[in-house]
Amino acid sequence: ILNVEQSPQSLHVQEGDSTNFTCSFPSSNFYALHWYRWETAKSPEALFVMTLNGDEKKKGRISATLNTKEGYSYLYIKGSQPEDSATYLCAFNDYKLSFGAGTTVTVRA
Amino acid sequence: KAGVTQTPRYLIKTRGQQVTLSCSPISGHRSVSWYQQTPGQGLQFLFEYFSETQRNKGNFPGRFSGRQFSNSRSEMNVSTLELGDSALYLCASSLLPSLLSRTDTQYFGPGTRLTVL
């Protein structure tokens, strides 16, 4: 069973503040890491697919970095807004998506 | 382009019954994956279908099965329902299966919420 861990489990952020959280995965046999955002009552939405060590991806105020040698990825939200409130999931692709439990972000106005 | 659709959205069954859930992928997508989410658990992979063939399977009992039709629509079936099968079942579609492309994005449907009483 693949161990994909995300921390923290949840966090509360004041509107306008920036935040980041972690996804840890096995560093051996790495191929791809996927990030998803899952808002309440909606479908999970793909954010990034990351493949290369040192990769940095950006989508609006959200960005992600990847370190395949040590087995972690950071997701950053800059200037958090209430609409950023969601659960952020990472998934390690070992011929199927193995998801972490997610980090639930709540942005307080 | 229409997204992934799942029917029904909500379902209530009793123990011992069986249930069939349906998933229609994005037009042109030939791969469909199924996931289960229970309280306190992350998304757990059930199986993946591509070109009407199961390409990968997660660690679930044989009561969980699926199939894919020639139009890429997929169904999953759970027989002899147990209380622990109460969950949100999500399907996701992609152009290619994970076995062929580990960078292909999977697009998720809204899920079917199954409650077993």
Q: What is the pLDDT of residue A85?
A: 97
- B49 has pLDDT over 90: yes
Q: How many CA atoms lie within 13 A of A105 on its CB side?
A: 31
Report the pLDDT value the prediction gives residue A95, as an integer from 0 to 100: 85
pLDDT at A1 over 70: no
Separation of alpha carbons A85 and A104, rounded Å: 8
**E-state strands within B1-117:** 5-7, 10-13, 19-24, 31-37, 44-50, 53-57, 64-68, 74-78, 87-94, 107-108, 112-116
pLDDT of residue B96: 86
Determine the distance in angstroms separating the CA of B106 from the nearest CA of chain A, rounded to an integer. Answer: 7
Q: What is the mean pLDDT of residues B71-90?
A: 97
Q: Å from B40 to nearest chain A CA?
A: 8
Q: Which of the four pLDDT bands, split at 50, 70 and 90, describes residue B99?
A: confident
Q: For residue A96, is pLDDT > 70?
A: yes
Q: What is the mean pLDDT of residues B8-20?
A: 98
DSSP strand pairing (A45-50 vs A33-38)? antiparallel
Give yes or no for residue B56 having a pLDDT over 70: yes
Q: What pLDDT score was predicted for residue B100?
A: 79
Cis peptide before B8 (omega within 30 of 0): yes
| Structure-block tokens of residue B87 | 């969950």
What percentage of chain B has pLDDT greater than the value 90? 87
pLDDT value of position A43:
95
Note whether A105 and A80 are within 8 A (CB).
yes
Q: Average of pLDDT values for B43-60?
A: 95
pLDDT tens for each residue of A10-47: 999 999 999 999 999 998 888 899 999 999 999 999 99
Chain B, 79 to 108: residues with Cβ < 8 Å from chain A are 90, 92, 98-99, 102-103, 105-108
User: What average pLDDT does the structure give for chain A?
Assistant: 94
- pLDDT band of B42, cuts 50, 70, 90: confident
pLDDT digits (tens, 9 = 90+) for A74-83: 999 999 999 9
Helix H or strand E segment including A62: strand A62-67
Taking residues B39-51, report their average pLDDT.
91
Mean pLDDT along residues B63-88: 97
Query: Is residue A102 less than 8 Å (CB to CB) from chain B?
Result: yes
The answer to whether A34 faces chain B, any CB pair under 8 Å, is yes
In the predicted model, is pLDDT for residue A2 greater than 80? no
Over chain B, what is the mean pLDDT?
A: 94
